[in-house]
Structure formats: structure tokens, C-alpha cells
Amino acid sequence: MAERGDWKNETWIIRHEGARLEVAARGATVVSWRVATPAGPRELIDGYRDDAELEAGHGARSAVMAPWSNRIHDACYTFADQHYDLGPAADGSREAIHGLVSDQDFTLTEATDNSLTLATSVAPQAGYPFPVTVAVTYRLAVGPRGGQRLEAHLVTTNVGTRRAPVGIGWHPYVQLGNVDELRVAIPARARVAVDDALIPLLGDDAYVPTALPVELAPIGEAIIDTAYTDLVADADGLVRSLLVGPDGASVTLEQRTATQRRGQGIVHIFTGDTLQVRRRQSLAIEPCQFVTNAFNRAETGRAVALAPGHSAVLDAALVYRGA
């Protein structure tokens, strides 16, 4: 069963088959995922390392992004013919970045030997007057073909009486060694082109065809903060993006994409060059339901509309395999 961590902020720890997971109540944030290797325990998540980092929240490390992921242009959107303004952030910026729950304390609702489920509610508020609940289940497992698995099951439910705009994502940073030496392969057919504010360009200009798969082999000195879409699933319905470290160890991101429609099903890669601490020490690989600024885009406007009583679901997993 789960044990309490020793942070000032509440955390819980589970262990399974040599793996150890620690999750904070604040934001339902994974702060550590360690696996057993012949050389000893290996930390795979570049998470917040202490209470001060967790409370500051810089870098959205392992953030649960709900009820939207990434940015909303100028912190404004139109939904059901109504205009909404999410307002400026504490620093005065108008990015409306990564949703509303990263600084909320979640409640532990269920714990087993290898899983934790945490939940919170988002009350109606200025700019987002839609009541929703957010639940996250993290599960440790060993795959049928080997590999240590960290599975994430994110559910956002509309508990109101009218449609609500919802799009969710997850923001883990994976550390496998020197970022410059990482090799990345993403089964995508398009790169999302953005403006200087990292907002996708208008219409079809946002989707730039790429070779399949997208390969960065290695990343080298490239500075990357880029989303890829038009994802191609394997026969089992899972999209698999691969990171390989300089020692040959790998982490695969698995995610399910419910549709092949434009702007739906995203893998976002970020090399961390603008982080306040530990710049370029790990790679963020983010599964998201929708392209950035989805609330304002014609091709995703209907898809983000969640009916009362319905849920948006994101299933993802990180799978570690040793060299």
C-alpha cells in the first residue's frame, strides 16, 4: 500500500517490481519515478526536487494539464458564442498556460499496491465558468515484453449543466543522459508551426508535413519546443514515441489517439532551454489531446466541447527498457 513521503507538501509513495513512484498532492504531480537496474536505482523523471520547487511550479514538471493543455492565445477564447477572458498570470503575462489544476491540492481517493488515484474539482471562475472534476490514476507495471511501465490515466468530467471546453495533457520530463546525445523518433506526419508566442499559425498553415517518422538522431544542439501531430498508431491502437539515451537505455511514450482528425493527438517535445533551473538536463515529452490554442481553432472547436456528464480521457504510459 501507499506510504507517506517526507515532504512538507503531502506526497505518497508506491513500490512495485523494483520500481518506486512518488506523487505529490499538489497538482497530482509525479516528483520521482525510479527503476531498478544492474547499476542500482535509476531516476527517470526530472521532477521537482523539494517543496520550494514544487510550490513555485516553474517548468510545469510532470504537470497534469487540465482543463486545457499548453497555451491559449492572449488568455482569451470564444466558446458557444460567448467570449471569455482568463486574465493575466501573476507575472502579467497572458499565456493562460497549462490549465488550472497544477497549483491545486488533489485528494488521494484510492491506493493499491501498485497504483494511486487522486482527484480534485475545478470550481466555476472568471474566464472558465464551467465546473469540472479531474482524476488521475498512476500505475506501476511490468510490460508483457519486459520494460518498467509508469501508466497515467487522466479523466476530466463535466459536472455542469452545459457544454464545457476541455482538452487535457501531461508534461513529464524524462532524463536519460545528455540531451544533445538523445535520439528521438515520433510517428508523426506533421509538425505544428507556431508564431513568436508559440501559438500555432492560422488554419492549415499550422500543419507542416514531415517525414514519417520524425527522427532527431541525435538532437544535437537543436533548441526544440515543438508539437507533432497526425500521429500514426501501431496495430494495437497505441502511438509509440521513442527516446534513446547515449547508453542505449530507452523510454517509450505510449498514448492512445481516439481520432486522426487534424489538430487531435499531439506529442510535444521540449528541450528545456528556457527553464529557470536544470536547463537542458532532460526532455519533456508531452502527450496531449489537442493542439495548442484548441479552444480558439476551427478544426478543434467542436471536439473540445464536452457534454454534461461526459468525460475527456487521456491514456499514456512511459516504458523504460535498459540498454
User: What's the pLDDT at 89?
Assistant: 84
Distance from the Cα of residue 86 to its chain's centroid: 21
User: What's the pLDDT at 41?
Assistant: 97
Q: How far is it between the farthest Cα atoms of the chain? A: 58
- Per-residue pLDDT, averaged over 298-317, amounts to 97
User: What's the pLDDT at 72?
Assistant: 97
Taking the C-alpha atoms of residue 132 and residue 166, their distance in angstroms, rounded to an integer, is 9
Quote the mean pLDDT of the chain: 96
| 3-state SS class at 203 | helix
Look up cell 479523466; give the residue: 155
pLDDT in tens, 74-116: 999 999 999 999 999 888 889 899 999 999 999 999 999 999 9
User: What's the pLDDT at 95?
Assistant: 87
Taking the C-alpha atoms of residue 290 and residue 303, their distance in angstroms, rounded to an integer, is 9
> Model-level pTM?
0.96
CATH topology for the 3-178+270-321 domain? Beta-galactosidase; Chain A, domain 5 (2.70.98)
Euclidean distance between the first and final Cα of the chain, in Å? Answer: 31
In terms of Cα–Cα distance, which of 252, 251, 280 is closest to 37?
Answer: 251
pLDDT in tens, 202-236: 999 999 999 999 999 999 999 999 999 999 999 99
Q: In this structure, are residues 120 and 134 in contact, taking their beta carbons and an 8 Å threshold?
A: yes
Within 159-263, strands assigned E span: 164-165, 169-171, 173-174, 183-186, 188-192, 207-209, 214-216, 225-231, 238-244, 250-256
Distance from the Cα of residue 164 to its chain's centroid: 20
Burial group, residue 112, by CB count within 10 angstroms (0-12, 13-18, 19+): middle
In terms of Cα–Cα distance, which of 192, 204, 274, 179 is closest to 231?
Answer: 192
- Per-residue pLDDT, averaged over 193-210, amounts to 97
pLDDT in tens, 144-162: 878 999 999 999 999 999 9
Cell numbers at residue 50, please?
Answer: 523539494
Look up cell 471536439; give the residue: 303
pLDDT in tens, 246-302: 999 999 999 998 667 899 999 999 999 999 999 999 999 999 999 999 999 999 999
- Per-residue pLDDT, averaged over 52-70, amounts to 97
User: What's the pLDDT at 146?
Assistant: 80
User: What's the pLDDT at 270?
Assistant: 98
Domain ranges of the chain: 3-178+270-321
State what percent of residues in the chain have pLDDT above 70. 99
State what percent of residues in the chain have pLDDT above 90. 94
Integer CA distances (angstroms), 107 to 26, 157, 301, 311, in order = 9, 16, 31, 19
Bridge partners (DSSP) listed for residue 66: 99
Neighbouring C-beta atoms of residue 14, cutoff 10 Å? 21
User: What's the pLDDT at 286?
Assistant: 98
User: What's the pLDDT at 258?
Assistant: 67
What is the Cβ-side half-sphere exposure of residue 62, based on CA atoms within 13 angstroms?
Answer: 30
Q: In this structure, are residues 59 and 45 in contact, taking their beta carbons and an 8 Å threshold?
A: no
H or E element: which one contains 55? helix 51-56
Taking the C-alpha atoms of residue 153 and residue 70, their distance in angstroms, rounded to an integer, is 18
Taking the C-alpha atoms of residue 216 and residue 97, their distance in angstroms, rounded to an integer, is 27
